[in-house]
């Protein structure tokens, strides 16, 4: 990027020989070069894959939830623990998520958790393997939302494990362990 803007400066300096016009042209070239560098940097960032691409395209009825997250405070963390402790049903790849306790299920946060579990989390083994692959290539710590979704995906894998047999059971167990390792690596990353 820097060498391209340096080339533009050299061309601009050699094209004109008058002092005032050269100075003015250099500022214009500098602005264009900075704009180009910024645009290419933004394009590179947008090309990087999201860990949970479904999070940015979640639609529920007439309202749209963009990048939903459950945990915004310590009370939300305690509520999530209570919901998981009282029991949830994930269903299958296309079945609905359900909080078993009716009182907890009626809370607004439980509906947000439902959206995350039904629409954002990967539920098939290939999708979970793809997530694990992206996690292994991920640089730096996970965002709070990605950490939360990775944990919930691990909970989903643990939920599916007892209900499967044969080689699929081994695949779900391997996915669970890989998600655990990714979370442990994120927690111990400096």
Element (DSSP H or E) covering residue 99:
strand 98-99
Residue 99 pairs with which residues in a beta bridge?
88
- The mean per-residue pLDDT over the stretch 67-92 comes to 86
Same domain, 140 and 170: yes
Average confidence (pLDDT) over 27-37:
49
| Rounded CA separation 62/33 (Å) | 43
Q: How many structural domains comprise the chain?
A: 2
Interval 128-158: pLDDT, tens: 999 999 999 888 899 888 999 999 999 999 9
- pLDDT tens profile 105-124: 999 889 888 888 888 899 89
Residue 94 has pLDDT above 80, yes or no: no
Q: What pairs with residue 144 in β-bridges? A: none
Q: What is the pLDDT of residue 43?
A: 39
Same domain, 39 and 85: no
Residues 117 and 134 in one domain: yes
Same domain, 7 and 67: no
**SS3 assignment, position 88:** strand
The pTM assigned to this predicted structure is 0.67
């Amino acid at each position: 990027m820097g060498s391209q803007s340096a080339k533009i400066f050299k061309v601009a300096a050699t094209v004109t020989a008058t002092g005032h016009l050269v100075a003015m042209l250099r500022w214009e070239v500098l602005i264009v070069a900075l704009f180009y560098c910024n645009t290419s940097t933004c394009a590179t960032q947008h090309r990087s894959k999201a860990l949970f691409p479904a999070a940015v395209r979640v639609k529920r009825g007439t309202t749209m939830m963009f990048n939903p997250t459950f945990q915004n405070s310590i009370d939300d963390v305690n509520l999530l623990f209570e919901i998981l402790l009282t029991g949830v049903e994930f269903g299958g790849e296309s079945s609905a998520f359900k909080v078993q306790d009716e009182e907890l299920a009626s809370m607004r946060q439980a509906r947000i958790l439902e959206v995350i579990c039904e629409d954002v989390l990967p539920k098939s083994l290939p999708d979970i393997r793809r997530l694990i692959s992206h996690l292994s290539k991920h640089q730096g710590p996970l965002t709070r939302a990605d950490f939360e979704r990775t944990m919930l995906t691990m909970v989903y894998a643990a939920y599916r494990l007892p209900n499967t047999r044969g080689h699929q059971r081994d695949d779900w167990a391997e996915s669970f362990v890989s998600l655990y390792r990714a979370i442990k690596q994120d927690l111990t990353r400096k």
